[in-house]
Amino acid sequence: MHSSPRLLLLGYGNVAKALLPLLDSRGSWLEQELGIRPLISGIGSRRTGFFTHSAGVALSELAKEVNPLQLFSASGHASEDAAAFIRAGRATGANALIELTTMNPDNGEPALGHIRQALEAGMDVITANKGPIAHAGEALQTLARQRGLSLRYESAVMDGLPLVNLAEFTLPAVGMRGFRGLLNCTSSIVLSQVEQGSSLEEAIRSAQEAGVAEADPWHDLDGWDAALKTTILANALLNARLTPRQVQRSGIRDLSRTEVVAAARKGTPIRQVSSAQLVDGVLSASVSPQRLQPDDPLFAGRDLGMISLETEAMGTITLTEHSTGVLQTAYGVLSDLIAIQRARNASQETH
């Protein structure tokens, strides 16, 4: 057996609730392939309270609970806030933070602070949060490297569809030149509704009712969400040093219903396209509404998550994510946990 990860879950929303049974269902795989039995050292959120458990709780134990949080609140130690929770968890031996809180897209806080605190305390970090990585990814990675720790964030863009991990593990030295993608599902769904006859307001309301759009939908529709994702991917895939405000951005707010419907009728539907291209070493990145021609690789994904990677050695490769939801986000967290453990196992074998 290798030394098992002791996980601190910060943020207890739908992704965390999907992650616990997913981890449990992969228990024998993790034991056989990696020689580990992960323990949950704590679960915390602002809404439910912050609880750590000194011995850690096995996933199989948690799986028996209707409400895993109750087991922690009944027998665990309560902290007053996230910072105290991370300190208390680290004191019990937790060695990885799984950061799944909500955050302010303008600066990535408070998630950014949690991640920094955990790295400084000596914990690996996995986050599904775009903000901290888009706003401060390089500084956080430098901090992680200095401490010999890992910071992974596959789920920050297109859930667990391997993009960051793909470039790192299976497309090395391919000569990545750029990408174009439909990275924001909400805007695709809203545009699709408008094409079918809704007004923009109706389309937004219906997306909100379906739980797809946020209370403030403009973060998605004005292209901020896509700009954060474009920043993350440009930095990870193209070794850029982009910040979100450097992404040229025009949203779908000012598109008229007539324009959207007419474009769709002509067979060239409008979608919010994220793009980053390296030309002669210079990066340009943008988020803008574009008409998708039928021969565009993104055309087929006009109602799905989709990305085309432009590479020197492999030409264009397109990846399509047909299902997007909390299970897919949770899987990305699992795949990051596995990547971290594989690296740990390799380094443990050296000592």
**Binding footprint of its own copies on the chain (CB under 8 A):** 22, 26, 29-30, 33, 159-162, 165-166, 169-174, 297, 299-300, 308, 313-323, 327-328, 330-331, 334-335, 338, 346, 349-350
Kindly state the smallest distance separating residue 222's Cβ from its own copies, in Å.
Answer: 28
Q: Characterise 167 by phi-psi region: left (phi > 0), alpha (psi -120 to 50), beta (else).
A: alpha
Name the 3-class secondary structure at 167. helix
Of 210 and 300, CB closest to its own copies: 300
Kindly state the smallest distance separating residue 338's Cβ from its own copies, in Å.
Answer: 5
Kindly state the smallest distance separating residue 336's Cβ from its own copies, in Å.
Answer: 10
| Residue 32: count of CB within 10 angstroms of its CB | 8
Kindly state the smallest distance separating residue 220's Cβ from its own copies, in Å.
Answer: 21
Kindly state the smallest distance separating residue 319's Cβ from its own copies, in Å.
Answer: 6
Which residues partner with 58 through β-bridges?
39
Kindly state the smallest distance separating residue 313's Cβ from its own copies, in Å.
Answer: 4
Q: Within the chain, where are the H helices?
A: 14-25, 27-29, 59-63, 68-75, 82-91, 111-120, 130-146, 164-165, 185-195, 200-209, 218-221, 224-237, 257-265, 326-348
CB 159 within 8 A of CB 332: yes
Of 135 and 180, CB closest to its own copies: 180
Peptide bond into 110 cis (omega under 30): yes
Of 112 and 233, CB closest to its own copies: 233
Kindly state the smallest distance separating residue 312's Cβ from its own copies, in Å.
Answer: 9
CB 328 within 8 A of CB 24: no
The tokens for 136 are: 């401060």
Nearest residue to 271 (alpha-carbon basis) of 197, 185, 208: 185
Kindly state the smallest distance separating residue 172's Cβ from its own copies, in Å.
Answer: 5
Kindly state the smallest distance separating residue 329's Cβ from its own copies, in Å.
Answer: 10
Of 79 and 165, CB closest to its own copies: 165
Nearest residue to 327 (alpha-carbon basis) of 46, 26, 30: 26
Of 256 and 316, CB closest to its own copies: 316
Of 92 and 290, CB closest to its own copies: 290
CB neighbour list of residue 341: distance below 8 Å, 6 or more residues apart: 2, 5, 30, 34, 36
Burial bucket for residue 72 (CB in 10 Å: 0-12, 13-18, 19+): buried
- Amino acid residing at 124: D
Length of the chain: 351
The tokens for 326 are: 């909390």
Of 173 and 215, CB closest to its own copies: 173
Compute the distance between CA of residue 337 and CA of residue 169 in angstroms, rounded to an integer. Answer: 15
Of 206 and 324, CB closest to its own copies: 324
With b meaning 16 or more CB within 10 Å and e meaning fewer, what string describes 331-349? bbbbbbbbbbbeebeeeee
Of 262 and 314, CB closest to its own copies: 314
